[in-house]
Structure 1
Amino acid sequence: MQLLKLVAEQIRIGARLPFNVRDAEGGLLLACGQIVISAAQLAALLARGMYADVAELRALQAGGQVPAEPPPLATRWAQAVWAVDAMLKTLPDGLQFMASCDETTSEVIALAVQDGDMALYQTVRQEGLQLRLYGLTHALYVATLSLMVARRLGWAESRQRKVVKAALTMNASIIELQGVYAMTGGRLTQSQREQLRLHPDEACKRLRAAGVDDEEWLQAVAQHHEQVSGRGYPRGLRDVGEMARLLRLVDVFLAKISSRVNRPALEIKQAAREVYEQNPGNPLAASLIKEFGMYPPGELLRLANGDLAVVIRRGATLQCPLVMALADKRGQLKAQLIRYDTAQREFAVVAVESDKSLMARIPSERLYGLYGMHGLDSLNPTH
């Protein structure tokens, strides 16, 4: 495949792509027919590097059409961030917002249901996270993990959809401020701090103005920073709804495992331990910890044979995930990724690797790509 690097003028924001957009290795970033939603999305894609297949461009010039490739899950996850952005920007327009919210919610649910392991991988690795977009990515990951916990708890499908909508909209008034907060390490003005304190009420106000009348959705948004101890905000309530309690739990947990300018991400085991200690006997906390397991997808491990490997699937037991070996014991990247089952003694987990910098060099499409839940069996066999 011969690739041509694209420039901004070759992409029309809001129009369907007439060709497939690829990365420098030919991997699919956006499929033909998909839409670049905003200037911010285009800038992010250009920074990463956008390419087109020369053969496809020639076919277009000759009057032909480019067949659309089904976008891999990694591409759909990347696109979901911008769908959240577009949805929140429609909030003043009730009809447009409600339709966009339904569509975005359906996509989040479809992604999580189609491949729960990859969904967890996204929340753990937060791939390609740009701190200025933290508000958008955080909303997406809170919605995803809240859904997965709600499913584990056996909530009705209607409530599952509702908690996704609440998670996507609970910070509607501070999306940009969250990016500022992440980039500055928490150094905010008094006015910005007041905006943060009042954002649950402001988000509710915007949702009501857009026509949202579901009281459980609105209550979850209004109370997602309240605590049964009475130490929450903005009202210091003690009687806090179940959905709001779930949102706060997931919100806090994911904030702990997210990096900031002034601090690294907390280790997942430590974050889980803190959640457990702060919420003893809480079924919501117990379900969250069970969903992640001991070694969730996205965790980087050292194996008994010395290899560094990333978890890609939760295994039959908590202690034995399926992993993809990325580097040897000297830290040299492997020419070909190899899948191992850590239930086998020679590939048993020895330790969690604290230095995650290697992961920045391995995009998720190399680990999951076009493969579905069982497609990885066709890759390198377990040795």
Structure 2
Amino acid sequence: MQLLKLVAEQIQIGAPLPFNVRDASGGLLLACGQIVISPAQLASLLTRGMYADAEELRALKAGSRVAAEPPPLAARWSQAVWSIDAMLKTMPDALRFMGSCDEAASEVIALALQDGDLAIYHAVRQENLQLRQYGLTHSLYVATLCLMVSRRLGWPEERQRKAVKAALTMNASIIELQGVYAISGVRLTQSQRELMRQHPEDAYRRLRAAGIQDEEWLQAVAQHHEQVGGKGYPKGQREVVELAQLLRLADVFLAKISARVNRPALDIKTAVRQVYEQAPGNAMVASLVKEFGMYPPGELLRLANGDLAVVIRRGASLQCPLVMALANAKGQINANPVRLDTSKREYAVVAVESDKSMLARMPSERLYGLYGMHGLDSLNPTH
């Protein structure tokens, strides 16, 4: 395949793509027929580098149509981020918002159900390239984790879906500010701090104006930074609805394990311990801890044989995940990552590696395949 680098003028925002858009290695970023939703998405694609197959471009010029490839999971995860962006921008139009919110929630649920391990991998990996879109990616991962925990708790499907929608909309008024802060790390101004403090109520008002009448959803958004006992904000409420407690738990935990320009991500073990110590008998916290396990997908490990490996699947036990070996004990990179089972003594986990820079060069498709390896049972609470 001969790849030609694309420029902004070759992409029409809001119109179906006439060709498949690929990365520098030929991996599919957007399938023919998919839509670049916004200038921000286009800018992100240009930063990453986008290419097209020269043969497809010649076929288009000759008047032929390009066959669309089914989008791989990685491309669908990327597109989901921009669907959330588009959905939030429809809030002033109640009719459009209702439909786009349903569509965004359905796609998040479908992605997580298709491969729960890949969902956790994306949340743990948190590429620095995504910092500018931190507000959007954070909403996506919080929604995914809320789905996982609520499933483990046995909530009805309709309530699970409500949790996803609440997570996708709880930061509606500060999405851009979250991205600015994540990428700059500069101290917020007084007005920005006040905007942060008031954003739960701002989001509540926006949702109410957009026609949302579900009181549990609305109260969850309004209270998602409150804490039982009165130590939260913006009102210091002592009683907090259950759904708001779930939102806050997922929000705080994922913020802890997400890097910023001015601070590294907290390691998973420490983040898990911190949320557990705050509420050791809480069923939600216990469910989150069980969902992530000791070594969640995306964690980088050193094995007994010296290999450096990344977790791709939670194993039958918390201590024994399935991994892909990326490099040997001498630091030599594996051209083709090797799948290993850490329940075997020679591949046992001996340490967690803090430097995850190697993962930035490892597309998730090389670890999981184009379409993932699990079906609907990947979120079955049996881990």
TM-score, normalising length: structure 2? 0.96
Contact 1:127 1:363 in 2 (8 A): no
Deviations 1:108-158 (A, max 9, x none): 000000000001101111235432211111111100111110011111011
> Which residue pairs with 2:142 in the alignment?
142
Using the alignment, how far apart are the partners of 1:124 and 1:318 within structure 2? 17
Deviations 1:82-124 (A, max 9, x none): 1111111111110111110000000000000000000110111
Task: Name whichever of 61-70 and 11-20 sits farther off.
Answer: 61-70
> Which residue pairs with 2:237 in the alignment?
237
Contact 1:74 1:368 in 2 (8 A): no
What's the offset of the Cα at 1:186? 5.6
Contact 1:31 1:70 in 2 (8 A): yes
Task: Name whichever of 142-151 and 324-333 sits farther off.
Answer: 324-333
> Which residue pairs with 1:52 in the alignment?
52
Using the alignment, how far apart are the partners of 1:134 and 1:121 within structure 2? 16
Using the alignment, how far apart are the partners of 2:182 and 2:25 within structure 1? 31
Matched, 1:64 2:59: no
Using the alignment, how far apart are the partners of 2:374 and 2:146 within structure 1? 25
> Which residue pairs with 1:204 in the alignment?
204
Using the alignment, how far apart are the partners of 2:182 and 2:163 within structure 1? 24
Task: Name whichever of 123-132 and 330-339 sits farther off.
Answer: 123-132
Using the alignment, how far apart are the partners of 1:126 and 1:80 within structure 2? 15
What's the offset of the Cα at 1:238? 1.0
Using the alignment, how far apart are the partners of 1:185 and 1:8 within structure 2? 29
Counting only pairs closer than 5 Å after superposition, residues 322-337 of structure 1 correspond to structure 2 as: 322-337=322-337
Matched, 1:282 2:282: yes
With over 3 angstroms needed to count, the CA separation of the structure-2 counterparts of 1:289 and 1:186, relative to structure 1, is farther
Using the alignment, how far apart are the partners of 2:374 and 2:98 within structure 1? 35
Contact 2:115 2:374 in 1 (8 A): no
Query: The residue matched to 1:324 in structure 2 has which SS?
Result: strand
What's the offset of the Cα at 1:175? 0.7
Using the alignment, how far apart are the partners of 1:185 and 1:23 within structure 2? 29
Query: The residue matched to 1:340 in structure 2 has which SS?
Result: strand
**Alignment gaps of 5+ in structure 2:** 376-383
Matched, 1:303 2:303: yes
Using the alignment, how far apart are the partners of 1:338 and 1:231 within structure 2? 48
What's the offset of the Cα at 1:59? 1.6
Using the alignment, how far apart are the partners of 2:330 and 2:38 within structure 1? 42
Q: How many residues align?
A: 375
Using the alignment, how far apart are the partners of 2:118 and 2:370 within structure 1? 12
Using the alignment, how far apart are the partners of 2:256 and 2:166 within structure 1? 20
Structural RMSD (CA): 1.2
Using the alignment, how far apart are the partners of 2:371 and 2:262 within structure 1? 37
Matched, 1:117 2:101: no
Matched, 1:18 2:18: yes
What's the offset of the Cα at 1:374? 5.2
What's the offset of the Cα at 1:176? 1.0
Using the alignment, how far apart are the partners of 1:295 and 1:20 within structure 2? 36
Deviations 1:240-290 (A, max 9, x none): 000000000110000100111221000000000000101120000000000
With over 3 angstroms needed to count, the CA separation of the structure-2 counterparts of 1:316 and 1:304, relative to structure 1, is same
What's the offset of the Cα at 1:371? 3.7
> Which residue pairs with 1:320 in the alignment?
320
Residue identity matched to 1:171: N
Contact 2:87 2:100 in 1 (8 A): yes
Residue identity matched to 1:178: Q
Using the alignment, how far apart are the partners of 1:169 and 1:242 within structure 2? 17
Query: The residue matched to 2:137 in structure 1 has which SS?
Result: helix
> Which residue pairs with 1:267 in the alignment?
267
Deviations 1:346-378 (A, max 9, x none): 111111111111111112122123143259xxx
> Which residue pairs with 2:247 in the alignment?
247
Using the alignment, how far apart are the partners of 1:365 and 1:20 within structure 2? 17
> Which residue pairs with 1:31 in the alignment?
31
Using the alignment, how far apart are the partners of 1:354 and 1:364 within structure 2? 19
With over 3 angstroms needed to count, the CA separation of the structure-2 counterparts of 1:374 and 1:178, relative to structure 1, is closer
Matched, 1:225 2:219: no
**Alignment gaps of 5+ in structure 1:** 376-383
Using the alignment, how far apart are the partners of 2:164 and 2:43 within structure 1? 28
Using the alignment, how far apart are the partners of 1:185 and 1:327 within structure 2? 33
Using the alignment, how far apart are the partners of 1:26 and 1:184 within structure 2? 32
Using the alignment, how far apart are the partners of 1:239 and 1:359 within structure 2? 42
Counting only pairs closer than 5 Å after superposition, residues 341-380 of structure 1 correspond to structure 2 as: 341-373=341-373
Contact 2:124 2:297 in 1 (8 A): yes
What's the offset of the Cα at 1:318? 1.0
Using the alignment, how far apart are the partners of 1:159 and 1:296 within structure 2? 26
Percent of aligned positions with the same letter in both sequences? 78
Contact 1:129 1:137 in 2 (8 A): no
Runs of 4+ with deviation above 3 angstroms: none
Residue identity matched to 1:61: K
Using the alignment, how far apart are the partners of 1:260 and 1:374 within structure 2? 31
Using the alignment, how far apart are the partners of 2:29 and 2:183 within structure 1? 26
Matched, 1:172 2:189: no
Using the alignment, how far apart are the partners of 1:16 and 1:290 within structure 2? 41
> Which residue pairs with 1:294 in the alignment?
294
Using the alignment, how far apart are the partners of 1:261 and 1:372 within structure 2? 31
TM-score, normalising length: structure 1? 0.96
Query: The residue matched to 1:17 in structure 2 has which SS?
Result: coil
Deviations 1:282-318 (A, max 9, x none): 0000000000011100000001111100000111111
Query: The residue matched to 1:130 in structure 2 has which SS?
Result: helix
What's the offset of the Cα at 1:54? 1.2
Contact 2:298 2:312 in 1 (8 A): yes
> Which residue pairs with 1:380 in the alignment?
none
Using the alignment, how far apart are the partners of 1:355 and 1:174 within structure 2? 30
